[in-house]
Amino acid sequence: MDHAPTYARAQPLGVLGQLAPVLPVVLLVALLALPVPAEAGAGAGEGGGTGSPADAFSALVVGLALLHVVRTARRPLTRRAAVILGLPVLGITAAACASASAATGLAGAARYLQVFVLVPAAVLVLIRDARQFRVLAWAFVGLALFQGALGVHQNLTGTGASYMGEDIRAVGTFGPTDVMGMATVVSYGFVAALALAFRPDAPRQRAAALTCAGLLTVPLALSFSRGAWIATAVACGVVLLLAGVRRALRAALAATAAAVVLVAGLGMGSQLLQERLSSITQVTDAPDQSVTDRYAMWAASVDMWRDRPVTGVGLKGFPEHRDSHASLALSSGSDTAGAGAEFRRQPLLSPHNMYLLILSEQGLLGLLALAGGWLALLVCAVRGWARVRRPGRRPSGAGDLDCALAACGLLVWQLVDFMYADIGGPSTVLTAVALGGCAWWGLRPRDSYEECETYETHAAYEACETYDVGAPNVTAGAR
């Protein structure tokens, strides 16, 4: 009983110290709420998308992670994590050497290393336990609520991006040149909120998370992004399946009711939404010009790969080789306007399919390295979920179910969305953060002391009291 007063006094400082390492990552997510310059919305093929404040701050996050490793004198990554996160370097390096110019190759390599290697590794290092992971997940939800509220306002006031002749498309602060930006942010927040709703013994968090998920259905619908809708539906299905049938049904009913009340009940763009939904099934029968362009660029990507099957045409080489491989059905570009921007003809400089972009620019070597690493990460995340679902083996892990669901759901969303989108624009840095969070769940050491439910109870405080001074909890068999 003598420890109780000490625990009461130490708890606030202990919680603050526990959350400190992940705060730079949270700030990185928060910076995506700032408006970005128009040139920062360039796609992957344009060589742009690296001029936002969040992209600049991501370099600082990587530096802080390196400083954290030096200060704690701990091995930053396990062998498995080093292999999975370092595997893309092989394809990226080979494709950079195959680029048309050294400057283009270096710029492309820097972008790929930032998104798929450096930032994910930094997030993996800075996240120490389940509480910090939940803070990051709630940061995703908070950013989604902000961008979503702005997007709904744009739709209601006619100040969004142009869609079907009206300025009603919700794009948030990302502008008409990055229409997938807000859709990505809101989708991340929706999946994270749904996963957080399954945290055991946390009724307040469950209620708040379900409320947020219901609210986010509105801006997600008003983004008019078919790819985001499909990816979100698949990811939510995976989350509900992994959560268990009984709880999944309750959450599905609550989400459906919220969607009906907020979207159908309020009549927010219902006719345009129905037309957009029906167009998903018409991609082969009567495709619109955007679908025709996408098919043409996909075919061009495969044709580029046939020319150079091993290393591809080089990083950022798709725009240069597009016209010589694309069919006559490809238009000159897409029209963008609204959301405070003038009318602009946006060139089609990427295939809007991450897998085909990698295949065309990095060849089979790059695709196997990147996609193989993502698949391995997904397997590790699912294995982590399986351990949580067997509380007999690790009783303290039963409370981490929401973390497992968030990691698996976000990773599935990204892998599905990559079939309809590629990297480019300010929202890309959020993809890197999400991959890092998923990597923490799937690649953390199984016997790591960070798995303790630190400060959740008095017993947990006693078990992990050495965490306060930054020293590892030395136990028998610990590495």
Q: Tell me if 29 sits within 8 A of 466, measured CB to CB.
A: no
Per DSSP, the chain holds a count of helices (H) and strands (E) of: 19, 4
- DSSP state string for 424-450: BSTTHHHHHHHHHHHHHHHHS-TT-GG
Cβ partners under 8 Å of residue 458, min gap 6: 3, 4, 7
**Residue 146 clears pLDDT 90, i.e. is over it:** yes
Q: Please tell me the pTM assigned to this model.
A: 0.84
**pLDDT value at position 99?**
87
Q: What is the DSSP letter of 32?
A: G
pLDDT given for residue 337 in this prediction: 63
Strand arrangement, sheet containing 341-346:
166-169, 161-163, 334-338, 341-346
pLDDT at 260: 65
Q: What is the mean pLDDT of residues 329-336?
A: 67
Amino acid 296: pLDDT: 86
User: Where does residue 333 fall: left (phi above 0), alpha (psi -120 to 50 degrees), or beta otherwise?
Assistant: left
Among 16-20, 127-131, 143-147, 268-272, which is the least confidently predicted range? 268-272
Do residues 217 and 190 lie in contact, with contact meaning Cβ atoms separated by under 8 Å? yes
C-alpha–C-alpha distance, residues 114 and 130, integer Å? 25
**pLDDT higher for 449 or 118?**
118
pLDDT digits (tens, 9 = 90+) for 266-290: 555 566 666 666 656 555 555 667 7
pLDDT band, residue 251 (cuts 50/70/90):
low
- Read off φ and ψ for residue 346, nearest 5 degrees: -90, 115
pLDDT of 326 reads: 76
Quick one: pLDDT at residue 15?
Answer: 59
Percent of the chain at pLDDT > 90 equals 42
Query: What type of residue is 177?
Result: T
Per this entry, what is the length of the chain? 479
Share of the chain above pLDDT 70, in %: 72
Q: Which residue has the higher pLDDT, 321 or 245?
A: 321
Q: What is the pLDDT of residue 278?
A: 61
Name which of 355, 346, 381 is nearest 91 in CA terms.
Answer: 355
pLDDT of residue 203: 86
Residue 118 pLDDT greater than 90, yes or no:
yes
Residue 409 and residue 415: Cα distance in Å, rounded? 10
pLDDT in tens, 121-141: 999 999 988 999 999 999 999
- Average pLDDT score over residue span 361-375: 94
What does the pLDDT read at residue 26? 95
> Angle between the 53-72 and 23-30 helix axes, to the nearest 10 degrees?
180
What pLDDT shows up at residue 42?
A: 47
Average pLDDT over residues 184-201: 92
Average per-residue pLDDT for the chain? 80
Question: Is residue 255 very low, low, confident or very high in pLDDT (cuts 50, 70, 90)?
Answer: low
Give the three-state DSSP class for 41. Answer: helix
31-40, 128-137, 214-223, 392-401: least confidently modelled range: 392-401
More confident residue, 75 or 183: 183
pLDDT band at 371, cuts 50/70/90? very high
pLDDT in tens, 29-86: 999 999 876 555 544 444 444 468 899 999 999 999 999 888 887 777 888 999 999 9
Nearest alpha-carbon partner for 148 in 156, 408, 278: 156
Q: What is the pLDDT of residue 4?
A: 42
Higher pLDDT among residues 359 and 35, named by residue: 359
| Predicted local confidence at residue 440, as pLDDT | 95
Contacts of 31 (CB under 8 A, 6+ apart): 52, 53, 54, 57
